[in-house]
Amino acid sequence: MPDTTTLPAATLPPISLRRTVTNAMATGCAVGAVVLVLAPLGAIFGYLVYKGIGSINWAFLTETPKPVGEAGGGMANAIAGTGLILLIASIAGVPIGIGAGIYLAEYGRNRFGDLVRFTADVLNGVPSIVIGIVAYAIVVLTQKHFSALAGGVALAIMMIPTITRATEEMLLLVPNMVREAAYGLGVSRWRTTLSITLRTATSGVITGVMLAFARVAGETAPLLFTAFGNQFWNWRLNQPTAALSLQIFNYAISPFDEWHRQAWAGALILIVLIVGAVSAVRIAASRGTLKGAN
């Protein structure tokens, strides 16, 4: 048996100063990065509240813009316009998006499905202004004027890939044995997909749809030459319509202080709506699905 009593004690040198310092510096840099990234976030929200809160009053929320130079007026028509355009967008975007998601999850585990999946991801990355050009070409050029419909079409094109991938993800989370239980009862495939699978994934799908909404609600670029903007109320589909994001843009680049003030107010409303939607979705998702089920 080897004699272990005469082995020298472990004589590794203590960890070098250079390595210790490097480690500390790395930690410092990472913390610094976090601070540098969070600072603008805090600054943006801070300024939005600071500059915008004073201008939000009942008049702002209910009146249309006043002519240049006059004080007062509001963005009521812009808020309504955003709602109208989102409504048009969701009529086309939500069903097609969910349908494509169902296709990918239930029928699309094949080469064609991979192609659709890939295309959806590609579509997600197309700059929104390019989508605006396409909507312009399809709708505005044929109708010969800007319209809410064109704006809705542009936003619908943007919503579809997001909703599709989210729906697919949620449907794939439904365990296969739930589907099997339905098949075993003699329920047809289409009924199983709608009444059982989709129903089980409902809260997740709604999350996906709301996130798509939050994303397109703030979009400006695709509306620049589709919905175009409007100083007055408009409820007609084929006329130019105001939108909150458009109004903020136009006011921000204008030379009038009065309009700058209103731009901040409008921005505050927009961010509250978006952050509200995203947070509500997060809270609902973390609470889980229905009573006791998981």
- Binding residues for another protein restricted to 67-96, rule: CB under 8 A: 95-96
d(CA 292, CA 294): 7
Q: Give the torsion through C-alpha atoms of 190, 195, 201, 207, to 10 deg.
A: 100
Joined together, the tokens standing for residue 294 give 């998981």
Candidate segments 63-71, 72-80, 83-91, 156-164, binder of another protein by CB under 8 A:
156-164
- Among 57, 68, 143, 199, which residue sits at the site for another protein (rule: CB under 8 A)? 199
Q: Give the torsion through C-alpha atoms of 273, 278, 284, 286, to 10 deg.
A: -150
As measured in angstroms, the least distance from the Cβ of 2 to another protein is: 25
As measured in angstroms, the least distance from the Cβ of 5 to another protein is: 26
d(CA 132, CA 138): 10
What residues from 103 to 122 belong to the interface with another protein (CB under 8 A)?
Answer: 103-104, 106-109, 112-113, 115-117, 119-122
As measured in angstroms, the least distance from the Cβ of 99 to another protein is: 3
Under rule CB under 8 A, residue 283 binds another protein: no
Residue 5 vs 18, nearer CB to another protein: 18
Binding-site string for another protein from residue 40 to residue 59, where x marks contact by CB under 8 A and - marks none: xx-xx--xx--x--------
CB 157 within 8 A of CB 135: yes
Under rule CB under 8 A, residue 293 binds another protein: yes
Judged by CB under 8 A, the number of residues near another protein is: 126
As measured in angstroms, the least distance from the Cβ of 218 to another protein is: 3
- Among 7, 9, 190, 287, which residue sits at the site for another protein (rule: CB under 8 A)? 190
Under rule CB under 8 A, residue 124 binds another protein: yes
- Among 79, 100, 139, 148, which residue sits at the site for another protein (rule: CB under 8 A)? 100
What residues from 135 to 154 belong to the interface with another protein (CB under 8 A)?
Answer: 136-138
- Among 88, 149, 150, 214, which residue sits at the site for another protein (rule: CB under 8 A)? 214
Joined together, the tokens standing for residue 56 give 């939000």
Under rule CB under 8 A, residue 23 binds another protein: yes
Q: Alpha-carbon Rg of the chain, whole angstroms?
A: 27
Q: What b-and-e string marks burial along 171-205, b requiring 16 or more CB atoms within 10 Å of the CB?
A: bbebeeeebeebeeeeeeeeebbeebbbebbeebb
Which residue type does 28 have? G
Q: How far is CA 77 from CA 83, 92, 264, 286, in A?
A: 10, 23, 16, 35
- Among 63, 73, 76, 129, which residue sits at the site for another protein (rule: CB under 8 A)? 129
220 by Cβ neighbours in 10 Å (0-12 / 13-18 / 19+) ranks as middle
Joined together, the tokens standing for residue 142 give 């044929």
Helix axes 202-217, 76-102, angle to 10 degrees: 140
Sign of CA dihedral 127, 47, 253, 151: positive
Joined together, the tokens standing for residue 202 give 């409902």
Residue 6 vs 18, nearer CB to another protein: 18
Under rule CB under 8 A, residue 224 binds another protein: yes
Candidate segments 2-10, 57-65, 168-176, 230-238, binder of another protein by CB under 8 A:
168-176
Under rule CB under 8 A, residue 280 binds another protein: no
Binding-site string for another protein from residue 236 to residue 275, where x marks contact by CB under 8 A and - marks none: ---------x--xx--xx------x--xx--x--xx--xx
